[in-house]
Amino acid sequence: MSQIEFSQKEAMIYSQRMAQMAKALWKAVEKDWQQWIKPYDLNINEHHILWIAYHLQEATISDIAKFGVMHVSTAFNFSKKLEKRGYLYFFKKEDDRRNTYVSVTDEGERLILTMNENYYDTTHHVLEGSFPLKQLYGKFPDFVEVMSIIRNIYGDDYMEIFERGFKNIEQCFSVEDGHLHGTPLSDINRENEE
């Protein structure tokens, strides 16, 4: 424990408030997430692994477990299921034979783009619950304090990957005629290399 002064009562109230808010928010997020990915026959772990592998491009199972906040065996088992469906592939690097890497196949990338393009086909209670704040302040909440807590728990590299995913979305997607359209991240990276 750090040397910061606080009472046991204050600590207990804070912890319980955080637990209750996190549970309530997670329940809504989980329901929204499940509805969004249901047409693609994915569960939340599979979608999260696909998302992480897509944004990292070459990820180890340990990377996926760390950034997916899941056990290594969970990351491995669900990654294998995604491999069987043709969305991921496993490989070893010549300069690193100890680690097994995972990358998204072209079919997996198309699936991610399709899911994101069809995001509005389902309801999103968390998004709708945030609209009054967006109207009032002109933007969605930043969660600066919550992100600081997460950074202190999981570290800077976790937050770097967290932010990289959203930067990739910003680069990959555009709105045309009121519809979201995606460009494969691999195409964008190729253009940046040229």
CATH of the domain at 46: 1.10.10.10
Among residues 165, 134, 144, which one has the least CA distance to residue 68?
165
- How many domains does the chain fold into? 1
Report CA-CA distances (Å) from 126 to 27, 156, 180, 190: 10, 26, 19, 35
Instruction: Classify residue 95: in a domain, yes or no.
Output: yes
Instruction: Classify residue 5: in a domain, yes or no.
Output: no
Instruction: Classify residue 151: in a domain, yes or no.
Output: yes
Buried/exposed code over 93-119 (b: 16+ C-beta within 10 A; e: otherwise): eeeeeeeebbbbbeebbebbbebbeee
Instruction: Classify residue 1: in a domain, yes or no.
Output: no
User: How does pLDDT run along the chain (194 residues), one tens digit per residue?
Assistant: 556 787 888 888 889 999 999 999 999 999 999 999 999 999 999 999 999 999 888 899 999 999 999 999 999 999 999 999 999 999 998 898 888 899 999 999 999 999 988 998 999 999 999 999 999 999 998 888 888 988 999 899 888 888 887 887 788 878 888 777 878 777 777 777 76
**Using only C-alpha atoms, what is the Rg of the chain?**
19
Residue 51 β-bridge partners: none
Instruction: Classify residue 6: in a domain, yes or no.
Output: no
**pTM for the whole thing?**
0.82
Range of the structural domain that residue 116 is part of: 11-193
What does the alpha-carbon distance between residue 15 and residue 8 come to, in Å, rounded to a whole number? 10
Q: Is 52 within 8 Å of 102 (Cβ atoms)?
A: no
